[in-house]
Chain A
Amino acid sequence: MILEELTLFNFCLYGGEQVINLAPVRRHGKLRPVVLFGGINGGGKTTILDAVQLALYGQRARCSKRNSQPYEQFLRDCIHRNVDPADGASVGLSFRYASDGKEHLYEVSRRWHGAGATVREKLEVYRDGERDKWLSDNWNTVVEEIIPIGVSRLFFFDAEQIRFLAEDSSSNEALGTAVKALLGLDLAERLIADSKILESRLVKESSLSDADSTKIDELEQLIGERDEATKQLKAQLATAENERQRAQEEVRRAKKAFAKVGGEHWDKREDQQKAANDLKVRDAELKTQLVQSATGSLPISLVRHLLEKAQRQDASESQSARSRVVHEMLEDRDRQIMESLSAELSEAHLQTVDEILAADRQGRLFEGDTSPRHRLSDRARARLSNLLETVLREEKESAAGLVEELNQVIHDMEAVSRSIAATPEEDAIKGVAETLTEKAKEAGALEDQVRKLQKELDRAKSEMESAQKSLDSMRSRLLKDEVFKVEESARMAELASKTQEIMKQFLARASAAKIDRLSSYVTESFRFLLRKKTLVESVQIDPESFSISLLAADGTSISKERLSEGEKQIFAVSVLWGLARASARPLPSIVDTPMARLDATHRNHLVERYFPNASHQVIILSTDTEVDQEYYETLSPHLSHAYHLDYNEKKQFTEATEGYFWEAEAVGVGSN
């Protein structure tokens, strides 16, 4: 397929009729595939991409500025601003496409005008210059043969938006369809389906017993019912899944709101209140006990040293009192001794004895004679030694234990009362709490529903498959028994069943081989374009699920999340390039804003390696900083021609003029 010409009439920024030549030229026998469009932001680059897609797919086109607008509204908005909507606008695209071994020139023209509230759209298709009514009426089907819309997404793309290929797994299905179509695998699948239809027709036409035909009807009806049920269940499941996600989101929000008004404290409020009460009781108990112990001898432990001194003093006092008593008794006795000796001994001897006795008495006298200070009673003395030996220590220890516990209790009470103070008033929280409960209930119910629907869907599917199986086996038995009785039908039936066998084998082998080839092409492209050569050893595509995984040199898988944004873009481009190379259909590429996120190395790689080799026709929509003067030089050997999209302030529309930014200026000076 080669895009030839794009005609824009009053379309968006483009006023009046403008014809843009898209066909790449040959120079010196060499094809120059690149057609370059240069435009600043808002200059109308993406409009070119939109116009091509709108021309081909109409209502189904994914245009950049449509979003969720109704199609008619979108068309009306696409009419150039300074034009009467009644005059209308149009886009036209012509392209060459080979089918049935012959190349034809197709022209698709889509025009519309808005009169009053309604917008009328008219589609006309010309083949080789002649208007073809059948093509015009059936264009939506025909275009799917030429370039399916799912595939077009992979060839006509905004480079900013293809990163989905490197991101979520939901892209697998889209990719799978595109890959099957591109690699021609869908043909084999369709052939199998068609031959099955043929078989069933043959079986129906043959003379069947009533029982058999009833059985077939039953099975077919069952399959039909289950198929219908499956479709419905799928739709219900999708709705329920959406609902569930919404409900979960609401639960999250409700939780947030709940936390914000102090919901956690509210949940704990009863425990907290109880804890507060318990602590209060314990606090009172402890204080009573402490008052009790403060009433005892406890204060005296503050001045234990004085009490010890008093004890020593008291001991001295007692001893000194005792020694004074002894001294007096001895004096009495000595006086008696001296009296009885005075008659018998000489004066000298008496003198000596008296001295001996006096010395003896003196020696027995308590040296530290102490004047009495405390005069403690025996009871007080006993109490004193009791205090010093045990009581003070015991009272002090038990008091210390109580004080410690009291401090802990006071600390806990403060914490609890802070938490209670943070607890919201019932009025403030009631609504929020109820919402939360309600939402959680709703989410739970929806989850159950999703599970239930999933189960039903699985059951319907498996019932359908088993019915299909018994129908298939019944048919093949009937084919043998009944259909083969008629010669002509027998031949067809045999061929049909052989075809299925062969196609199934073909499909299995071809898929494996083609996916292998695709994987290696994608790997090659990725390693060719990526700056970090050692990051990825190979890219694997699963032939069943079409999920793409990246493998490092040691065989471990690399998560796609670990790629940078720029690397993701390079990866997506690699996948597309690999697909284009593995594809049986040579399709043109349109790349919008290709290099916005890339660093210099990756830009170099795209300009030097990708653009010249991407396809036989590569249309690049670029700003002046993406393909700049230097890259323009690099591209020029491959460049067919360039357009400059310039917004003309005076005329208030964009004109596409031949040339690129700086070249257009040079031409512009000459023409003014």
Chain B
Amino acid sequence: MFVKQIRLSSQARDQLIRLKTRTGIQNWNVLCRWALCVSLKEPTPPTPVEIPADSNVEMTWETFGGDNYELYAALVRERCVQDGLDPDDEVAAAQFRLHLHRGISYLATPNKIKNIGDLVALTCEAKS
């Protein structure tokens, strides 16, 4: 895998704590999966910014992806290709980090997700 360990920024951590209370989802990794997919879905590429790894929230790639860990990596690489980037490990790792944090911020937007229903309903919007 192009990423072995994931360590979140402290801002992302705070946002995830809020999301935990709102959605009732207790696991960091589950919320991170949603965040990644939400960002990948956005048509625009993420803005390349420096993201500090200054929190104590850390997980392995396998923890993050669960049963689908290989597939999440594939999704990131496909997105790199879609954005015209060479999907080598270094690029993919950087893009993953950007998408993950953009997704977390997006979900943490005030009034965007008020309960678990709102989160799951994102997939309903995807249908139309």
Binding site for B on A (CB under 8 A): 286-288, 290-291, 293-295, 297-304, 306-307, 309-310, 313-314, 373-374, 376-377, 380, 383-384, 387, 396, 399-400, 402-403, 406-407, 410
Report, as a range, how many residues of chain B touch the other chain: 35 or more
Residues of A within 8 A of B59 (CB): none
Complex contact B40–A302 (CB within 8 A): yes
Docked complex Cα distance between A614 and B56 (Å): 111
Known interface pairs A300-B71, A303-B75, A309-B78; A373-B124 also in contact (CB < 8 Å): no
Complex contact A303–B24 (CB within 8 A): no
Residues of A within 8 A of B37 (CB): 299-300, 302-303
Nearest chain B residue, comparing its CB with the CB of A288: B24
Residues of A within 8 A of B127 (CB): 396, 400
How many pairs of residues, A versus B, come closer than 8 Å at their CB atoms? 118
Residue-wise, chain B 84-128 has the 8 Å CB interface mask toward A (1 for contact) of: 000100000000000000000000000000011101111110110
Docked complex Cα distance between A396 and B79 (Å): 22
Complex contact B78–A310 (CB within 8 A): yes
| Complex partner residue of B79 from A290, A297, A306, CB under 8 angstroms | A306
Chain B positions 27-80 with a Cβ under 8 Å from a chain A Cβ? 27, 30, 33-34, 36-38, 40-41, 67-68, 70-71, 73-75, 77-79
Q: Given known contacts A400-B124, A407-B117, what 14 new A-B pairs fall within 8 Å (CB)?
A: A287-B24, A287-B115, A290-B119, A294-B119, A295-B30, A299-B33, A302-B38, A304-B126, A314-B74, A373-B77, A380-B71, A380-B74, A396-B124, A400-B123
Nearest chain B residue, comparing its CB with the CB of A392: B123
Complex contact B122–A287 (CB within 8 A): no
Complex contact B120–A374 (CB within 8 A): no
Residues of B within 8 A of A307 (CB): 71, 74-75, 78
Nearest chain B residue, comparing its CB with the CB of A402: B120
Of the listed residues B117, B119, B127, the one surrounded by the most CB atoms of chain A closer than 10 A to its CB is B117
Docked complex Cα distance between A299 and B31 (Å): 9
Docked complex Cα distance between A288 and B75 (Å): 28
The yes or no answer to B25 lying at the interface (CB within 8 A) is yes
Complex contact B119–A383 (CB within 8 A): no
Nearest chain A residue, comparing its CB with the CB of B30: A295
Docked complex Cα distance between A303 and B33 (Å): 12
Known interface pairs A299-B34, A403-B117; A310-B124 also in contact (CB < 8 Å): no
Residues of B within 8 A of A373 (CB): 74, 77, 81, 87
The yes or no answer to B15 lying at the interface (CB within 8 A) is no
Complex contact B74–A290 (CB within 8 A): no
Nearest CB of chain B from residue A32's CB, rounded to whole Å: 93
Complex contact B75–A301 (CB within 8 A): no
Complex contact B25–A291 (CB within 8 A): yes
Which 10 pairs show the lowest CB-CB distances between chains A and B?
Answer: A380-B70, A299-B37, A310-B74, A302-B37, A406-B117, A290-B116, A306-B78, A303-B40, A299-B34, A302-B41
The yes or no answer to B23 lying at the interface (CB within 8 A) is yes
The yes or no answer to B82 lying at the interface (CB within 8 A) is yes
* 17 A–B contacts, CB within 8 A, in A order: A294-B25, A298-B120, A306-B75, A306-B82, A307-B75, A309-B81, A309-B82, A310-B78, A313-B74, A313-B78, A383-B71, A387-B68, A387-B71, A396-B127, A403-B120, A410-B115, A410-B117
Residues of A within 8 A of B115 (CB): 287, 406, 410
Complex contact A300–B120 (CB within 8 A): no
Of the listed residues A377, A384, A399, the one surrounded by the most CB atoms of chain B closer than 10 A to its CB is A399
Residues of A within 8 A of B75 (CB): 300, 303, 306-307, 310
Docked complex Cα distance between A289 and B127 (Å): 21
Known interface pairs A287-B116, A306-B40; A301-B123 also in contact (CB < 8 Å): yes
Docked complex Cα distance between A286 and B30 (Å): 18
Docked complex Cα distance between A352 and B67 (Å): 55
Docked complex Cα distance between A410 and B115 (Å): 11
Residues of B within 8 A of A294 (CB): 23, 25, 30, 34, 116, 119-120
Nearest chain B residue, comparing its CB with the CB of A398: B120
| Complex partner residue of B74 from A295, A374, A400, CB under 8 angstroms | A374
Complex contact B41–A303 (CB within 8 A): yes
Docked complex Cα distance between A118 and B98 (Å): 109
Docked complex Cα distance between A377 and B26 (Å): 30
Of the listed residues A303, A307, A377, A402, the one surrounded by the most CB atoms of chain B closer than 10 A to its CB is A303
Nearest chain B residue, comparing its CB with the CB of A286: B117
Docked complex Cα distance between A396 and B75 (Å): 19
Docked complex Cα distance between A33 and B67 (Å): 117
Docked complex Cα distance between A258 and B94 (Å): 69
Residues of A within 8 A of B78 (CB): 306-307, 309-310, 313
Complex contact A383–B68 (CB within 8 A): yes
Docked complex Cα distance between A402 and B26 (Å): 19
Residues of A within 8 A of B123 (CB): 298-299, 301-302, 396, 399-400
Docked complex Cα distance between A293 and B124 (Å): 13
Complex contact A290–B68 (CB within 8 A): no
Nearest CB of chain B from residue A448's CB, rounded to whole Å: 57
Residues of A within 8 A of B41 (CB): 302-303
Complex contact B70–A403 (CB within 8 A): no
Complex contact B38–A376 (CB within 8 A): no
| Complex partner residue of A377 from B27, B34, B70, B124, CB under 8 angstroms | B70
Residues of A within 8 A of B119 (CB): 290, 294
| Complex partner residue of B126 from A287, A302, A309, A310, CB under 8 angstroms | A302
Residues of A within 8 A of B79 (CB): 303, 306
Residues of B within 8 A of A286 (CB): 117
Nearest CB of chain A from residue B28's CB, rounded to whole Å: 12
Nearest chain B residue, comparing its CB with the CB of A374: B74
Nearest CB of chain A from residue B43's CB, rounded to whole Å: 11
Nearest CB of chain A from residue B24's CB, rounded to whole Å: 5
Complex contact A297–B68 (CB within 8 A): yes
Known interface pairs A294-B120, A295-B30; A376-B40 also in contact (CB < 8 Å): no
Nearest CB of chain A from residue B68's CB, rounded to whole Å: 6
Residues of A within 8 A of B34 (CB): 294, 299
Docked complex Cα distance between A314 and B73 (Å): 13
Docked complex Cα distance between A299 and B123 (Å): 7
Docked complex Cα distance between A298 and B124 (Å): 11
Complex contact B117–A301 (CB within 8 A): no
Residues of B within 8 A of A304 (CB): 126
Docked complex Cα distance between A376 and B41 (Å): 22
Nearest chain A residue, comparing its CB with the CB of B36: A299
Complex contact B74–A291 (CB within 8 A): no
Docked complex Cα distance between A512 and B128 (Å): 86
Residues of A within 8 A of B38 (CB): 299, 302
Docked complex Cα distance between A291 and B118 (Å): 11
